[in-house]
Amino acid sequence: MILYPAIDLKGGECVRLAQGDMARATVYNKDPGAQAAAFKAQGFEWLHVVDLDGAFAGNAVNGPAVEAILKATDVPVQLGGGIRSLAMIEGWLKRGLTRVILGTVALRDPALVIEACKLFPGHVAVGIDARDGMVAVEGWAETSSITAIDLAKRFEDAGVSALIFTDIARDGLLTGVNVPATAALADAVSIPVIASGGLAGLADIEALMAVAGTPIAGAISGRALYDGRLDPAAALALTKRAA
């Protein structure tokens, strides 16, 4: 299982939100590039980056901060937040991103996701953010009438490289990952699933890795890393031992 440290960008700074509420943001680092370099030095092999402002605006807002991250480290980076056109996808991949994460557009325009997977094979992931099991979009400001599993199934044969599944109710609160919902999604489709939202410590990683059905491909950690509740060396050693 791959462990992804999260860099959430708001106003060019690294922050963490509570349940996706932009008014409940804690700034952890004013230099995203330095944060990316620190995560690489700790041994992480991927970075998960979200343009929070972009998710609400529907276009890239923290572009300079993302570029600073790409310049500061050579580890693969996946980016979500406001990416809603083929031109934007192509532009980011040309600038060095390894993977783009499509969220709102996956619900609004699934045909675009399918086309993107054909044009950029292996470089497109879908972000599924759920509130009480229902997909939320537009920076989590709107809750739809479709379930996370039903949305995932739309892309079963599209070539999506991964599904990033976030339980909004737990995000940023350190209350533990929603293991049952994540496992149910993984069992429902053949696309690799990455867990997000609420990871509080080693116990969450162990619980995800112990899922009896389809293995969970990865987990994203934000606040637990920034607050020191999750030791990077111990967490990475745990994932490597299991591998």
Tens digit of each residue's pLDDT (9 = 90 or more) over 89-143: 999 999 999 999 999 899 999 999 999 999 999 999 999 999 888 998 876 677 8
Residues with Cβ within 8 Å of residue 178, at least 6 apart in sequence? 167, 170, 195, 197, 198
* pTM > 0.85: yes
pLDDT score of 57: 86
The pair of three-digit structure tokens given for residue 13, joined into one six-digit string: 């700074």
CA dist., res. 130 & res. 218, Å (int)? 18
Is the predicted pLDDT of residue 166 greater than 60, yes or no?
yes
Is the predicted pLDDT of residue 14 greater than 70, yes or no?
yes
CA dist., res. 178 & res. 67, Å (int)? 32
CA dist., res. 232 & res. 43, Å (int)? 8
Tens digit of each residue's pLDDT (9 = 90 or more) over 167-223: 888 776 678 899 999 999 999 999 999 999 889 999 999 999 999 889 999 999 999
Tens digit of each residue's pLDDT (9 = 90 or more) over 29-55: 999 999 999 999 999 999 999 999 998
Tens digit of each residue's pLDDT (9 = 90 or more) over 45-90: 999 999 999 988 888 899 999 999 999 999 999 999 999 999 999 9
pLDDT score of 8: 95
pLDDT score of 169: 80
CA dist., res. 116 & res. 215, Å (int)? 26
Question: Annotated catalytic residue: which of 8, 53, 167, 171?
Answer: 8
Active site residue 51: no
Active site residue 204: no
Closest C-alpha to 166, from 144, 145, 181: 181
Is the predicted pLDDT of residue 243 greater than 60, yes or no?
no
Question: Annotated catalytic residue: which of 31, 51, 53, 129?
Answer: 129
CA dist., res. 53 & res. 202, Å (int)? 30
